[in-house]
Amino acid sequence: MDGTRDGVTNRDGDDALDGLPLETAIERAAGDDDRETVESALRLAADEETVSWEAVEAELATVSKVVATPETRLELATAAVDDAHEAAAGVADEPTVVRRLGALDDRLATVSESVSELAPALSDVADRTGEPGELYGVAADLRQLRERANDQQIAADELIDEAETVEAWLESADRRRREFSSDLDALASTIDGTETALKRLDGDADYGDATGDGDGAAIDAAASHVVSGLLIADLRAELSTLRDWPGDDGVDWEEPADRLDRLATRREALGERVEATAGETVADLEAAVGETEPPVAWERVRAAINDYRPAR
């Protein structure tokens, strides 16, 4: 142990902190470094404004309980993802279902890996508790470990919610129809964005003058046009699956299908103006996104567009 923790150097040595008033310990440990970071750690190592190993040990007991919580929530998240897979029986090979279940599986793997790292980290801190020269380091690591455990509890809870949402979508025709309608709203908003950017480029005062930011407005027009095209392809593919969903013979998909056609026609009508003002940018963005077949990999699309945009 070199007296360094969390980017802060304790130049006087940790042993000297045991028994000091909190404010004195902070001043001694922080030196010219980050006082706020040092204070947040040492407050966990203080009881009645006095820093001590006894207070650290009490915090260790508390953090042990905090670390156990995401482990429990992960078990519930795993069960929720399993339930979603069970609800997909009969449609598990449909691309739109594969995408949803795959996203759940990926999230579960990520959360599982992060949660699995908490117990070994706690064991390491426990082994160092009480060791000479480790008081500040242990306190700082306990603070970080508490934050990591809380973050993973949140991640597990969010995964539970997401898995339950997917399960509900799989089990309810009404839920599928409502979500599809929401996706159509998103498509309409994206096409609105194209139109707004074009009006800015035309100098329409009601939409903000693009003078001095012509490149930015052109990128906005091109990006929204590319995204709306991908959305339409994605929604057409999903609509085909939803229309043939087992047991949904009585569900009316004509109205959302008609709306999708109208939105596609509206986008097509903007195509000539987009080509005239931002055609090169559209081509660049399409090349950056690459070939994308439904179901669209939206994370890749967003990353490609964000990488293309200049810093503003």
280 or 78, greater pLDDT: 78
Residues 6+ positions from 132 with CB-CB distance below 8 Å: 14, 15
Q: Please state, in angstroms and rounded to a whole number, the distance separating the CA atoms of residues 41 and 48.
A: 15
Is the Cα torsion angle 93, 96, 100, 106 positive or negative in sign? positive
Q: Helix and strand tally (H, E) in the chain?
A: 10, 4
- Give the pLDDT of residue 312: 43
Report the Cα 65 to chain-centroid distance in Å: 26
pLDDT in tens, 96-134: 999 999 999 999 999 999 999 999 999 999 999 988 888
pLDDT in tens, 41-58: 898 888 888 888 999 999
Average pLDDT on 263-271 reads 96
Domain 7-170, what architecture?
Up-down Bundle (1.20)
Calculated CA dihedral for residues 63, 117, 41, 11, nearest 10 degrees: 140
Q: Provide the percentage of residues in the chain whose pLDDT is more than 90.
A: 66
Residue 18's pLDDT band (cuts 50, 70, 90): confident
Residue 16 has pLDDT above 70, yes or no: yes
pLDDT in tens, 201-252: 887 666 665 554 557 888 999 999 999 999 999 999 999 999 999 988 888 9
β-pairing verdict for 50-51 and 46-47: antiparallel
Closest CA to 135 of 299, 302, 5, 306: 5
pLDDT in tens, 163-181: 999 999 999 999 999 999 9
